[in-house]
Structure 1
Amino acid sequence: MWNEIKRIADEASNVSKYVFEKDNAVVEAVLYKYPDYQTRTVICCSTQSGCPIGCRFCGSGDYFVRSLTTEEIVSQPVRCIEDTGIDPATMGRLQIMFMSMGEPMLNMKALGPAIRELHMRYPKAALLVSTSAPRVDYWPITKLSEEVPTVGLQFSVHESTDEARNALIPFEKKLTLKEIAGTGFRWYMQTGRKPFFNYCAHDANSTPEDADRLLALFDPNLWCATVSVICERQEWLPTSNDHQRGLASDFASKLVERGYDTRMFDPAGQDTIGGGCGQLWFVQDWMRSHPEQARPSIGCGKPSVHVPIIPVPA
């Protein structure tokens, strides 16, 4: 299926980045072990080659090639799990997260069947869909989450006001924070499982007032919180530095004080092999050298891809 698969490992950080390449697309996946694959294996895989959303903290926002097929999505965690050498049925915890490259909700046609196949292959695996909340119909993911009980849903909120979020995520046809809260509430009512909101803590959005605004939107009885360390994307700037880690930890504490079940996402290998959000430098080079396939995303100029937008049901 793929012409070439590269694995770039950071053994010190227990993480490996995979680059899957063919003539008309390139994607990446990340494989983590905590502290070993037997105890806990985490895989971040892609749903698109590049991304049309254009989030300014993520390298995937620069270019968009195309959506992946079901087979292309499934092949990423399958290859990663094979490389662990561990029987997935015996793993203490296996998590497959659709949050590497691409916007999952803009490729539900392929992602839905991929989730069903992965659930059949790995019935114990947690399958987390992380979305930047484009304005589409969320009923299909809700019905799929009822059908597959291991599906989780996370919204990339990242800011406590719509104004700040619009600057960070320039894609115009997306849900407002209030609409995200309502969509997550409906998902919770249908599935009985708490959705997550993901927040990217930085110097300008980590005050008690920011935490209070989130509390007014997202009921901690219905929502869990993730605070991300990574908010920068310059290749020359170390991202998982002590300052940002301290900001994320401090803001996570603020959310805990307000009643949230909170976790902090501090991806291993971010500075060495691009272990968190954003493309590996090899992938960035591929995008720049294939202008016939890799079109600039919305955040880097005029929209270059037609994305069908469906009204959100009341």
Structure 2
Amino acid sequence: MSKYVFDFGNAVAEAVLYKYPTYEERTVICCSTQSGCPVGCRFCGAGDAFVRSLTGDEIVAQVQHLFADRGINPEVVQRCQIMFMSMGEPLLNFGGLSDAIRKLHALYPRFALLISTSAPAVDYERVRALSVEVPAVGLQFSVHESTDDARNALIPFKAKLDLAQIATEGERWFAATGRQPFFNYCAHEGNTSADDAARIYNLFNPAVWQATISVVCEREESVAAANVRQRQLAQDFMQKLMHYGYSTRCFDPAGQDDIGGGCGQLWFVQDWMRNNPELARPSVGRSIPIVHAPRCTA
């Protein structure tokens, strides 16, 4: 794993680059869509402050810089996924996101483009339209818990969909695109029981949904200890979901170290936020005005 910080003058952002096992065989990029984040997820170090949304060109620049810095020739990469899931909530910056998606698809038409969202209460018709227009787009919802009460404690942003509404929007997206959406689930001791798996099954139809189980490190604990313990929790919960017929995968942010966590947690970024209070406004659970971009046409 390689981690990058981008200084855009009045904003800072981060991106993460993975290889599995080589860049030529499979490359994964996590890039930022905002500087900081207004949502305030409690496991994410970037969720305490929000600066601004990034432009489409600033999002694209992250991807291009990572390829150039590591000498990666995109033409020889067999599989690549560009994920909008580092800093920021992509659907609260739909103008910048949609611009970046169109430009990235033109540059790299073979590459998958994954929108990972905490499900803010926005107009999902525009997300479906963009996903039909650009067939490389995938959609992943950060579910993380099997009950709304637990999810509200983890993701305090108030203007978001509940679990049943997420299930409905995923089914609509599946019907429009013919592609399966994903739900992302953060495994920990309190949400990996058989009852949790049963609740997930009752919400999310495995004929529609695929499951991503995440290994996410808590802010206050050492990365190494968290990674070993939570990897086993994730694997155990994957088995429970597979029993219900889900296609599952585990996203393990390998290579975490004293730079900071996998995504949204680089210590440099957190320090920048603390040292620039005139730019970084507190954002824990804070609602912000949502500006709807012009609707996409398929």
Asked whether the equivalents of residues 30 and 275 of structure 1 are also in contact (C-alpha less than 8 Å), the reply is: no
User: TM-score, normalized by length of structure 2?
Assistant: 0.94
Q: Distance in 2 between matches of 1:86 and 1:21?
A: 22
Q: Distance in 1 between matches of 2:52 and 2:178?
A: 34
Write the distance in 1 (CA, Å) between the matches of 2:124 and 2:224: 36
The one-letter amino acid paired with 1:25 is A
Quote the residue 1:136 is aligned against: 122
Q: Which of 239, 243, 248 is equivalent to 1:257? A: 243
Matched letter for residue 220 of structure 1 = P
CA distance in 2, matches of 1:37, 1:66: 31
Structure 1: gaps spanning 5 or more residues: 1-14
Return the alpha-carbon distance in structure 1 between the equivalents of residues 72 and 5 of structure 2. 21
- Map of 1:111 onto structure 2: 97
Query: What is the Cα deviation at residue 229 of structure 1?
Result: 1.1
1:71 is aligned with what amino acid? D
Q: Is the 8 A contact 2:16 2:263 kept in 1?
A: no
Flag structure 2 segments of 5+ consecutive residues without an equivalent: 293-298
What corresponds to 1:102 in structure 2? 88
Over the aligned positions, Cα root-mean-square deviation in angstroms equals 1.5
Question: What percentage of aligned pairs have identical amino acids?
Answer: 64
Q: Distance in 1 between matches of 2:137 and 2:226?
A: 28
* Partner amino acid, structure 2, of 1:187: W
Q: Equivalents in 2 of 1:240, 1:96: separation in Å?
A: 26
8 Å CA contact retained: 2:216, 2:227: no
Match of 1:267 among 253, 269, 280: 253
* Structure 1 position 272, deviation (Å): 3.4
Equivalent residue, structure 1, for 2:270: 284
| Residue 25 (structure 1) aligned with residue 7 (structure 2) | no
Q: Deviations over 1:95-146 (max 9, x none)?
A: 1000000000000011101100000000001000000000000111111110
Matched, 1:152 2:134: no
Per-residue CA deviations over 1:273-298 (Å, capped at 9, x if unaligned) read 33523221111111000000001112
Residue type at the aligned position of 2:61 = S
Q: How has the CA–CA distance of structure 1 residues 20 and 239 changed in structure 2, closer, same or farther, with 3 Å as cutoff?
A: farther
**Is 2:49 aligned against 1:63?**
yes
| Conservation of the 8 A alpha-carbon contact between 2:82 and 2:113 | yes
- The C-alpha deviation readout for 1:13-49, integer Å capped at 9, x for no partner, is xx11010013310000001111111111110000000
2:147 alignment partner, one of 161, 172, 182: 161
1:179, 1:17 → 2: CA distance?
34
1:208 corresponds in structure 2 to 194
Query: Secondary structure of 1:18's match?
Result: strand
Point out the more displaced range, 233-242 or 255-264: 233-242
